[in-house]
Amino acid sequence: MGYYYLGLYKDFSCMAGDCPSTCCAGWRIRIDQETMERFQALPDHKLRDDILQHVRKKGQDCYFANRSDGSCAMLDPDGLCRIQRNTEEQMLCVTCRKFPRLAGRVNGDLWMSMAASCPVVAKYLLQQSVSFYRTDGHVTGDVSRQEIPKFSGEYGSLIRLLKEASADEQIPDMREQIRKMWNRYCKMYDIVNGCLEIMASSPELNYLDGSFDYFEGERETSKILQEMMDFEERNRELIRRFAANYLCYRVYSCRLEYPESSDAENQFRILGEFFLFMILRFSRDLVLGRSDDDIVIAEINWMYRFCVHGRKRYVKFGKLVRETFKKTEYLAEIISSITGSDFQDAVSE
């Protein structure tokens, strides 16, 4: 049995109260039964009453209540949790203890990764190259992605899909380029409308400033196309670099978030998540006029939280992507046209 880790795992350092984001907002934090029993047996009556009055039940499940801004009711103004502040880490529920760490068994091996809703993880995906290491007893060493069973085949399949989409596409004339770009914008618009509908049923998830604002105003078609071309020119290297990291990272971590999903579903979902990131980057680039790392990290955090945290949103977003693109190949063709053929050559090395 092997133990495989995302490269960041061994160097991860929690930012605690200095975190520019928070893991305690944007989703409902589930309380496992064992933790609920610990809360009910707390000898500190004041803390026990504080916790229990902020617990909500839905069916057999218990969750912490969320404030109107989407944050957990146990979060203090300085960004720290009152439970952890007044007890020990062992008192926290499983969700809070492990975040942002992800773990699971794949074909008998243990895989360890981290959630991109954490700013430290998002910064790693934006600024560094994704790597992996393997530990077996006391022996630890870096490994290439080709050496990780199961992952190597799934990742290779996704890259082949992107390469085939790129190979099938002939160099279009100007009219065809315009048609394809307008089709891309229409798909972006459809995804935005679908995401807004999903958000309407997710009051715990706050809107990220500028995320979809671009799509609200009336614009001439020619202006939209020109702004799309200018945007891609400005952001091309950033998009390629992030795509190379995110696609590799997500093929690996998908197995740990929702292990029941099929390979084909994961491919569609990963490309859909990256397409949503493109929408956020496009809208905020045009609306806010910024592309510095802090801005992009916030976009990665929000996209991952929206797409992955919470089973209901996870299912709804997957359905939205499927209804919008119908076939994985159509989505792969759009991603390929944005990242370029040299991207596929680089990531398949």
Q: Is the previous residue joined to 77 through a cis bond, with omega within 30 degrees of 0?
A: no
3-class DSSP state for residue 114?
A: strand
Dihedral sign from CA coordinates of 148, 154, 157, 161:
negative
Q: Are 243 and 65 in contact (CB under 8 A)?
A: no
Cα–Cα distance measured from residue 51 to residue 111, given in angstroms and rounded to the nearest whole number: 33
The confidence score (pLDDT) of residue 229 equals 93
Task: Provide φ and ψ at 313, rounded to 5°.
Answer: -65, -40
- Residue 62 host element (H or E): strand 61-64
Task: Provide φ and ψ at 283, rounded to 5°.
Answer: -65, -45
The confidence score (pLDDT) of residue 125 equals 95
The confidence score (pLDDT) of residue 21 equals 64
Single-letter amino acid code for the residue at 221: T
Both structure tokens of 73: 């009711």
The confidence score (pLDDT) of residue 198 equals 96
The confidence score (pLDDT) of residue 59 equals 82
Q: Are 182 and 225 in contact (CB under 8 A)?
A: yes
Cα–Cα distance measured from residue 252 to residue 69, given in angstroms and rounded to the nearest whole number: 32
The confidence score (pLDDT) of residue 137 equals 65
Bridge partners (DSSP) of residue 112 are: 5, 103
Both structure tokens of 315: 């299912």
Mean pLDDT by 10 residues, the chain (349 residues): 84 62 70 87 88 87 84 82 83 79 89 92 94 79 88 91 75 79 95 96 88 94 95 92 94 91 92 97 96 95 92 93 94 86 61
